[in-house]
Structure 1
Amino acid sequence: MLIGAIADDFTGATDLATTLRERGMRTAVVIEDLPVGPERLDGLDAVVVALKTRTAPVSAAVAASQRAVDRLLDAGAERLYVKYCSTFDSTDEGNIGPVLDAVLRRVDADRTVVVPAFPANGRTVRDGLLYVGDDLLENSSMRHHPLTPMTRSRLRDILAPQTRAAITEIPLGTVRAGTNALRAAIDGAAPGYLIVDAVTDADLAAIAAASAHLRVLSGGAALAAGIEGPADAAPRSLEPVGPGRLVVCGSASSTTRAQIAHAHAAGCALRQVDLDRALDHPQDEIDGIVAWVRSLPADDLPVVYSVAELSDIRVGAAEVSAAVEDVLARVAAELVAGDTAHRIIVAGGETSGAVVQRLDVSLLDIGPQLAPGVCWSGATTGSGRRVALALKSGNFGATDLFTAAWEALA
């Protein structure tokens, strides 16, 4: 196994797996702590372990990451990749810094690069500052994230409270000075974390080449586009599944809100989660949504969502988010069990994790790409049903994703 990776949420896992697959690696995603027979990993070049650690307590995130790394090393992983969001979602406590500290200790490595840039999705790093499109991170919609509000843009300032390790910034001029110069800067820096500027895909390719000797990589998925794979890069087709469609959205991002608005304008059937019932009477809310979906004509596209406007975000966001995730995951599971839903788009990293865990899926086969960082994947539920899942980071995908994604499964 050339690459063993951990991702701090399920959309991040499929994001990275898609990139590795595009680079010619035979790749799969496995789910945290769920058993997968060694025969299912045989012949894979890369395995990504999907965790649900982005907003977990620090100790729990570190412990889960350590278990996943041990699992990958036992399977023969030559290099490790720590995948986090391209908007560096975290708090002053973590979990990016503490997880990186633990992974480096585990393999006795003294440094790694920190490269969240994802130019195809508008995430770039210049002078150590993270941009979302033309806006600094602190001025983007991520400033209003209910769980990890990003109010600073300098990556060093975000990471420093999370770790005692030294942090070095490597500027764009060094990245563009050539592989040898960049490698010399990486090797000559103080042990710790090296925040590397990247504005284009060519910058990321240069960073990947200059850091090819490092045992541990860290970044968003786009850094992996510079890693060469040994196998045929032809897209892998997925097993056919039934026709029933469903979209569930736990994300409050501006991109997901625009996708919901587009689906509404396109005539899709929309239903918003009643937050009060989700908190106080969750089973009633689940039953109501399930009954509503089943009442629709078979060719309708039901979209169940929690946030249409920023004003929908409640005080006590963590409790509300957990309740929404639970409701959406149980709705999806009931509709799959009842043979109503077979093809499901899930918007939001935490929601994606909740849905996959509720379906008792242990492995995702990576299928066709829908957009940078978004793909269809095939899975078998714990009860043996085959489903197709598109796990979408809240910030990813074109505005028409909810209406256009189904064509890739035809």
Structure 2
Amino acid sequence: MLIGVIADDFTGASDIANTLAKGLPGQGGLRTVQYLGVPKEAAARNVEAGVIALKSRSISTELAVEQSLDAMHWLLEQGCQQIVFKYCSTFDSTPGGNIGPVGEALATALGVSGVVACPAFPGAGRTVYQGHLFVNDRLLNESGLQNHPLNPMTDADIRRWLRLQTAGEVGHVGIDAVRRGPAKIGSALRQCAEERRVLVIVDAITDEDLVTIGRAVADDRLITGGSGIAIGLPGNFIERGLAKGTGAVDFSVDGPEAILAGSCSGATRGQVERHSMLHPSLPIDVAGVMDGSVKAADLTSFLLSHTGNAPLVYSSSTPEEVQASQARFGREKVAAALDDLFATTAQELVKSGIRRLVVAGGETSGAVASALGYNALTIGREIDPGVPALLAEGERPVALALKSGNFGAPDFFKKALQRLAGR
């Protein structure tokens, strides 16, 4: 194994696994496997990039650090030459969040500083300029992410945001330095290291910027960022003759299908609205979930009765509806109840023969993937930027798409089901 990734949620893990498997056009990527939690056994010998999916974004800092260090040690035991700490391209965290503490803990364990921190993912509209994070043409805190139910992002200056989470100062490498090439980036990072700045926000506006950053950190032990930071990394190993540039695996799994949507992002709400116009769709009554009148069996029954027609169940609501439910029942209680509902539903669906499963939302995907108990997922072809097809192999293979709430085109659900079936 050459590259080891520690991802703080399940959809983020799929996102960067997709990037590593795809690689650059004409060059190819790495044979990539996504692991659900820290594996207990060694990786297969043909795996070139291993992505460990944790559910550490919104847990206690102490536990997030512990889990991340455990993942790092396993990856190093597999021979990884480079470790990547992957977080969301919209930097989802609170002022007391886990990006800073985990990044610093990994850096300390590896004995490094001046470590790149770049959440940019231009393909999905996320760019970093002058240390500020943009979503398309909006500052992060004006993009709708300020209404995130778990991690509201109210400041686009991610240097300032990250500084709230770290023990030391945060560095910055601007776009002018990035555009001057890998050597200039390397020099700027070394200067930050000399100034004892462990984490360094690096600007990136285009994929070409990310490729340049990737070349600059070819020999770095630790990198942090969104999935975009991995765009240029496979090429470093391919050019050295350490990898062949094979990449994603083609597969097709046809059969009964279902869609579960737990994200309340604007992108997912739009996808739900569009899909519901033409396909059987069931909104989840949160109050009914909380009082026990809405159960997983109800969702399972609805979905199984409409297989063949791309059925959908969803809890996606407007920010105002989410805030009202949280105020009435408590934010943590609502989140836990919905996670449990989706997890149990997924288990029952797979037991009942569902072969293609699409899940929207990072927390929802984490709950579902954990409940299904798959140890590893093979990375298939990309469905939309940041979202690959995934295969759980076995006697009865199951194909999955685990989508971050903000990702995907308006017709993502239909497209995902077709891609999972090899169409």
Cα offset, 1:310, TM superposition: 2.6
Tell me, what secondary structure is at the counterpart of 2:170? strand
Task: Kindly report which structure 2 residues correspond to 1:298-317, keeping only aligned pairs within 5 A, or say none.
Answer: 298-313=307-322, 314-315=325-326, 316-317=330-331
- How many residues align? The count is 401
Match of 1:220 in 2: 226
- 2:195 is the alignment partner of 1:195: no
Match of 1:28 in 2: 33
- 2:263 is the alignment partner of 1:251: yes
Tell me, what secondary structure is at the counterpart of 2:417? helix
CA contact (8 A) 1:251 1:347 kept: yes
Cα offset, 1:34, TM superposition: 4.5
How many Å separate the matches in 1 of 2:405 and 2:44?
29
Cα offset, 1:342, TM superposition: 1.0
- Give the counterpart letter for 2:275 in structure 1: A
- Give the counterpart letter for 1:355 in structure 2: V
Aligned-pair Cα RMSD in Å? 1.5
How many Å separate the matches in 2 of 1:292 and 1:182?
54
CA contact (8 A) 1:246 1:302 kept: yes
How many Å separate the matches in 2 of 1:62 and 1:167?
19
How many Å separate the matches in 1 of 2:273 and 2:7?
29
Moved more, 311-320 or 140-149: 311-320
- Give the counterpart letter for 1:292 in structure 2: F
- 2:29 is the alignment partner of 1:15: no
Match of 1:260 in 2: 272
CA contact (8 A) 1:186 1:211 kept: no
Tell me, what secondary structure is at the counterpart of 2:231? helix
- 2:400 is the alignment partner of 1:389: yes
How many Å separate the matches in 2 of 1:295 and 1:46?
40
Residues 257-307 of structure 1 deviation map (CA, whole Å, 9 limit, x = unaligned): 000011012x1111112212322317x5211111222222x3211111102
Q: Under a length normalisation based on structure 1, what TM-score does the superposition of the two structures give? A: 0.94
- Give the counterpart letter for 1:327 in structure 2: L
Task: Kindly report which structure 2 residues correspond to 1:226-237, keeping only aligned pairs within 5 A, or say none.
Answer: 226-227=232-233, 228=235, 229=238, 230-233=243-246, 235-237=248-250
How many Å separate the matches in 1 of 2:21 and 2:316?
33
Match of 1:92 in 2: 95
How many Å separate the matches in 1 of 2:391 and 2:257?
14
CA contact (8 A) 1:250 1:321 kept: no
Tell me, what secondary structure is at the counterpart of 1:377? strand
Cα offset, 1:318, TM superposition: 2.5
CA contact (8 A) 1:377 1:390 kept: yes
CA contact (8 A) 1:61 1:99 kept: yes
Match of 2:298 in 1: 288
Residues 332-365 of structure 1 deviation map (CA, whole Å, 9 limit, x = unaligned): 11011011x1101111111111111111110000
Same amino acid, percent of matched pairs: 38
Match of 2:211 in 1: 205
Task: Kindly report which structure 2 residues correspond to 1:84-163, keeping only aligned pairs within 5 A, or say none.
Answer: 84-163=87-166
Match of 1:345 in 2: 358
How many Å separate the matches in 2 of 1:4 and 1:295?
42
Tell me, what secondary structure is at the counterpart of 1:346? strand
Where structure 2 has 5 or more consecutive residues not aligned to the other structure, the ranges are 24-28
Match of 1:5 in 2: 5
Cα offset, 1:242, TM superposition: 4.2
How many Å separate the matches in 2 of 1:234 and 1:162?
36
Which portions of structure 1, spanning 4 or more consecutive aligned residues, are displaced by more than 3 angstroms?
A: 232-235
How many Å separate the matches in 1 of 2:227 and 2:106?
18
CA contact (8 A) 1:285 1:327 kept: yes
Q: Alpha carbons of 1:94 and 1:234: their partners in 2 closer, same or farther (altered >3 Å)?
A: closer
Q: Under a length normalisation based on structure 2, what TM-score does the superposition of the two structures give? A: 0.92
- 2:377 is the alignment partner of 1:364: yes
